[in-house]
Amino acid sequence: MDDTDPRRSIPRTDHLLALPEVIAAGESLSQATIKAIISEAQSAARTGEIPVAEVAPTIISRLSSRSASSLTPVLNATGIIVHTNLGRAPLSEPARQAVADAAGYVDVEMDLETGRRSKRGTGAKEALLRACPGAEDALVVNNGAAALLLAVTALRGEGLTGPGEIVISRGELIEIGAGFRLPDLMATTGSRLREVGTTNRTHLDDYAQAITDQTASLLKVHTSNFRVEGFTAAVEISQLRDLADEHELPLIADLGSGLFEPDPYLPEEPDIASALAAGADVVIVSGDKLLGGPQAGLILGRRDAVQTIAKHPLARAMRTDKLTLAALEATVANTQNPVHEALHIDLDRLKTRTDRLAELVSGTVVAHDGRVGGGGAPGVPLPGWAVELPEALARVLRLGDPGVVARVHQGRCLVDLRCVPEADDDRIVEAVNRAREKTQDSLGDGDVSFDDDPDFTNHD
């Protein structure tokens, strides 16, 4: 770097820390946070990302716009309701209010009448049992995987010595997102998986022949994220109940997505009420999928089975916090639910909204199938519409304010309003029009095809 290089004039850290705006920011932000923002701006100047003269203004701008968290709120315009990358289920207004109320001191483990310690999560459990009369008891832990791990560890056949064997169909040894595999989770319990049947066909006799004096439990898992069609066979929970009774074994059913009762929109998706009625000792679901609540693992079923699980030492390590309990109780106790509303959306109203959006942003209305997402109802389309825009707009929309996450598919940016609250329709319009202006400015006035821009990749 020679003496004329402008990077030599990058402001020193102590000079930047002395700026009045930076000093004022120190009233709410930690010094570590402020120094990190300063370092990032200095580094950007060294690499030429910003001019040296913009270092101080950049720091001041970032400090003034700094939010309490690095998480950025976005509008979900993908048509995927339970979008894992966007935080799965959006909380209802009652649930958000419950979280805000629980953020301070609350009686999470205190009986205010007596002043003595009480049991954690009583309100959430009572709400779950009211919503699911077929369950005698319920337990809330921090996620679905934890619930399954805890259940298979705590529930074991009578007289079993050692970790024992968990009997499960080969067709249910699933892998879900981020490389998470069910067999790997089960291995951490110390138990041995006893695989029965084949990938596509498993019969009751396969389970019966696998049961020995080392069998710990029978496990039934819903195959989230995929479907096997054609020459297939599976054993129902009601059939396994008789076998479990014959050998005095616990029957555990992991349903995954969290429907309380059957939904005509999702005829193949299992539900808690039906699984309990069919004979499962305990049913496991996630709170942040079709249930529409916060991340949590819910265990519902027979009182003796649930209490056995709750008393296991691992239950303490997997217990959930006051914010989750508050959000879950509010989700279950109230009818307002963004997930259910998006799933059962009025298609006529959705079409009207989509037509209006297309008109205001000069887009084209195309048929577009939404999805449940989060592993729920794999392969089941949710018919609807989207506004087709040039693919180049997708990145600009994501980085805008508000951030709008659309679907990028086959060289197109598709904006689906299924998961967007109607009150935010005008924000979508403004975001798209701003994105068009920015994209046009960056590409100039030449005849450039957005679809061929190499800087934008397919994010489908």
Q: Is residue 459 part of a domain?
A: no
Q: Is residue 69 part of a domain?
A: no
What pLDDT does residue 2 have? Answer: 60
If one compares 179 and 62, the residue with the highest pLDDT of the two is: 62
Give me the chain's average pLDDT, please. 90
- Where does a domain end: 335, 351, 373? 335
Q: Return the ∠ at Cα 354 (arms to 348 and 356), rounded to 5°.
A: 105
- Where does a domain end: 335, 366, 392? 335
Shared domain for 373 and 299, answered yes or no, is no
Shared domain for 238 and 301, answered yes or no, is yes
For residue range 316-357, what is the model confidence (pLDDT) as tens digits? 999 999 999 999 999 999 998 999 999 999 999 999 999 999
- Where does a domain end: 335, 369, 388? 335
Question: 10 Å Cβ neighbour count for 95?
Answer: 26
Q: Is residue 393 part of a domain?
A: yes
> Average pLDDT in the 88-100 region?
97
Q: Three-state SS string across 113-126, please? A: CCCEECCCCHHHHH
- Which residues have a Cβ under 8 Å from the Cβ of 428 and sit 6 or more positions away? 75, 77, 357, 404, 415, 417, 420
CB 164 within 8 A of CB 156: yes
Q: Is residue 457 part of a domain?
A: no
For the cut 70, the answer to whether the pLDDT of residue 173 exceeds it is: yes
Backbone angles phi, psi at 278, to 5 degrees: -75, -15
Shared domain for 346 and 329, answered yes or no, is no
Q: Is residue 1 part of a domain?
A: no
Q: What percent of the chain has pLDDT over 90?
A: 77
Shared domain for 349 and 445, answered yes or no, is yes
Treating both helix axes as pointing N-terminal to C-terminal, what angle do 144-154 and 303-310 enclose, rounded to 10 degrees?
A: 100
Shared domain for 30 and 112, answered yes or no, is no
Shared domain for 207 and 268, answered yes or no, is yes
> Average pLDDT in the 427-435 region?
96
For the cut 70, the answer to whether the pLDDT of residue 399 exceeds it is: yes
What pLDDT does residue 66 have? Answer: 80
Shared domain for 108 and 12, answered yes or no, is no
Shared domain for 81 and 51, answered yes or no, is no
For residue range 9-58, what is the model confidence (pLDDT) as tens digits? 899 999 999 999 999 999 889 999 999 999 999 999 999 899 999 999 99
Shared domain for 175 and 302, answered yes or no, is yes
Q: Is residue 431 part of a domain?
A: yes
Distances (CA, A) of 438 to 14, 397, 442, 443: 36, 10, 6, 9
CATH of the domain at 218: 3.40.640.10
Shared domain for 328 and 355, answered yes or no, is no
Q: Is residue 205 part of a domain?
A: yes
CB 5 within 8 A of CB 22: no
Q: How many domains does the chain have?
A: 3
Domain that holds residue 293: 91-335
Among 18-22, 102-106, 448-452, the range scoring the smallest mean pLDDT is: 448-452
pTM across the whole model: 0.87
Q: Is residue 199 part of a domain?
A: yes
CATH of the domain at 412: 3.90.1150.180
Shared domain for 188 and 312, answered yes or no, is yes
Q: Return the ∠ at Cα 268 (arms to 156 and 285), rounded to 5°.
A: 40
Shared domain for 213 and 350, answered yes or no, is no
Beginning with the edge strand found earlier in the chain, give each strand of the sheet holding 297-301 in spatial order: 137-141, 297-301, 282-286, 251-256, 215-221, 165-169, 192-196
